[in-house]
């Protein structure tokens, strides 16, 4: 039985915020001891992840409820984030082969007058806020004033983000997106990673809630990267969730936005079934957005179990020349101090129907190894990183695949 030299379809899934242990430089970020997956499992009294477990997740670290596998069905390892920083854009760009020597700038004391004055001049609107704050807290604090005055709420966080919150009845989403595009032009010279539209609804401070019409406007990628190489070769790249936003639509053939993990899994499967040749690149954001930042370990754990239950649906649909890679972009440990991302290793799990007993991928020095693997597997050159595709080919047919639920 020979292994086909190239993959026809690849599914790359980023479990946003699912880290697996602090990096050696984590103390420089205040993240020593962070371990998102382990701490979530401990807080939940163990996790039921039979399918990820059979692929070998429990071989990467001690996870309550997820045992070691002597014959893992998947190839498993962990990857360091080589870039400076620990935000979503940094992690995803590194997956695609762009390694950042300098972190994107952040503004924990608020944005300087030059930025705010330019925003007010170009939009004709004087913003409220201009502080670092939780998104749910700031609309509770300033939402009623926004309703009275019509002034947009501008805020940031420890990440490199310029966020604009507005009630949908005061500044409709399409107008809010226009404001974000203006802010994006202002912020490009400052290298701010993302401008984020944060629409909300409700009648008063006790009733305000954010809607699914969030939209990210990212700094365009600064160099050619994996998605460019794929589309330039005539391959289709479908971005699910906020992938298209993260890459400022670069290298994306089709974008499928989602309201959360549930819709993200459905759209990933649908896109995969329609794909002829190329890649589905999905981001499942709820781990980070709904649970990590809000320090909700139990919600985080339930979301992981939901993903695990869905996983066989995708695996059963995969053909011999398809490849699945599951990874993450950073950590977001609910047990860590504060509500920020955490500087952690991330899991790397690869699977194909032709794989025998899954090989150990070891500790990869960069997330760029994932992108290099995608490129080599599908026959596209020019990728940064060290591919582990030869390890997958080398174990073809050696041993027996475990059945997945």
Residue matched to tokens 């020349």: 321
Straight-line distance from the first to the last Cα atom of the chain, in angstroms, rounded to the nearest whole number = 26
Q: Tell me, letter by letter, the H, E, C secondary structure of the chain.
A: CCCCCCCCEEEEEEECCCCCCECCCHHHHCCCCCCHHHHHHHHCCCCCCHHHHHHCHHHCCCECCECCCCCCCCEEEEECCCCCCCCHHHHHHHHCCCCCCCCCCCCCCCCCHHHHHHHHHHHCCCCEEEEECCHHHHHHHHHHHHHHHCCCEEEECCCCEEEEEEECCCCCHHHHHHHHHHHHHHHHHHCCCEEEEEEEECCCCCCCEECCCCEEEECCCCCCCHHHHHHHCCCEEEEECCHHHHCCCCCCCEEECCCCHHHHHHHHHHHHHHCCCEEEEEEECHHHHHHHCCCCHHHHHHHHHHHHHHHHHHHHHCCCCEEEEEECCCECCCCCCCCCCECECEEEEEECCCECCCCEEEEECCCHHHHHHHHHHHCCCCCCCCCCHHHHHHCECCCCCCCCC
Q: What is the CATH number of domain 113-218?
A: 3.30.70.1250
Q: What are the CA-CA distances from residue 134 to residues 76, 114, 214 (Å)?
A: 35, 24, 15
Closest CA to 334 of 364, 293, 304: 293
According to DSSP, the residues that pair with 200 across neighbouring strands are 167, 210
Two domains, one topology: 9-102+223-394 and 113-218: no
Domain boundary assignment for the chain = 9-102+223-394, 113-218
Q: What is the pLDDT along the chain (405 residues), one digit of tens a residue?
A: 334 458 999 999 999 999 999 999 999 999 999 999 999 999 999 999 999 999 999 999 999 999 999 999 999 999 999 999 999 999 999 999 999 999 999 999 999 999 999 999 999 999 999 999 989 899 999 999 999 999 999 999 888 999 999 999 999 999 999 999 999 999 999 999 999 999 999 999 999 999 989 999 999 998 899 999 999 999 999 999 999 999 999 999 999 999 999 999 999 999 999 999 999 999 999 999 999 999 999 999 999 999 999 999 999 999 999 999 999 999 999 999 988 899 999 999 999 998 888 899 999 999 999 999 999 999 998 889 999 999 998 665 554 444 565
Q: Which two structure tokens, joined as six digits, stand for 40?
A: 């979530």
Q: What is the CATH number of domain 9-102+223-394?
A: 3.40.720.10
Closest CA to 151 of 176, 182, 133: 176
Q: Apex CA 166: angle with CA 165 and CA 168, to 5°?
A: 135
Q: Apex CA 72: angle with CA 347 and CA 386, to 5°?
A: 45
> What pLDDT, on a 0 to 100 scale, did the predictor assign at position 220?
93
Closest CA to 325 of 361, 286, 289, 277: 361
pTM assigned to the model: 0.92
């Amino acid at each position: 039985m020979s292994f086909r030299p190239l993959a026809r379809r690849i599914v790359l899934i980023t479990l946003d915020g699912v880290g697996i242990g602090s990096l050696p430089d984590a103390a420089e970020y205040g993240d020593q001891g962070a371990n998102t997956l382990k701490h979530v499992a401990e807080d939940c009294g163990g996790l039921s992840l039979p399918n990820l477990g059979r692929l070998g997740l429990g071989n990467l670290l001690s996870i309550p409820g997820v045992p070691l596998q002597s014959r893992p069905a998947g190839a498993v390892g962990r990857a360091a984030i080589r870039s400076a920083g620990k935000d979503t854009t940094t992690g995803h760009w590194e997956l695609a082969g762009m390694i950042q020597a300098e972190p994107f700038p952040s503004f924990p004391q608020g944005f300087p007058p030059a930025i705010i004055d330019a925003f007010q001049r170009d939009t004709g609107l004087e913003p409220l806020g201009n502080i670092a704050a939780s998104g749910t807290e700031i609309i509770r604090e300033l939402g009623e004033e926004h309703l009275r005055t019509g002034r947009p709420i501008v805020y940031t966080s420890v990440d490199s983000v310029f966020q604009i919150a507005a009630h949908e009845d005061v500044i409709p989403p399409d107008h809010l997106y226009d404001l974000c595009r203006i802010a994006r032009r202002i912020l490009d010279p400052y290298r701010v990673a993302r401008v984020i539209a944060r629409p909300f609804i409700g009648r008063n401070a006790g009733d305000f809630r954010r809607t699914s019409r969030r939209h990210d406007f990212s700094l365009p990628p600064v160099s050619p990267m994996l998605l460019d190489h794929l589309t330039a070769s005539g391959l289709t790249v479908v971005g699910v969730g906020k992938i298209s936003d993260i890459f400022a639509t670069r290298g994306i053939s089709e974008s499928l936005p989602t309201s959360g993990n549930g819709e993200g899994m459905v759209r990933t499967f649908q896109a995969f079934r329609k794909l002829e040749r190329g890649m589905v690149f999905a981001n499942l954001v709820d781990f980070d957005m709904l649970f990590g930042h809000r320090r909700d370990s139990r919600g985080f754990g339930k979301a992981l179990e939901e993903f695990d239950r869905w996983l066989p649906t995708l695996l059963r649909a995969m053909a011999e020349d398809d490849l699945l890679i599951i990874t993450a972009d950073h950590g977001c440990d609910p047990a860590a101090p504060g509500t920020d991302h955490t500087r952690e290793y991330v899991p790397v799990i690869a699977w194909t129907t032709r794989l025998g007993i899954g090989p150990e991928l070891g500790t990869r020095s960069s997330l760029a190894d994932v992108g290099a693997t995608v490129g080599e597997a599908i026959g596209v050159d020019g990728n940064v990183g060290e591919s582990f595709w030869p390890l997958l080919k080398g174990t073809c047919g050696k041993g027996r695949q475990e059945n997945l639920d």
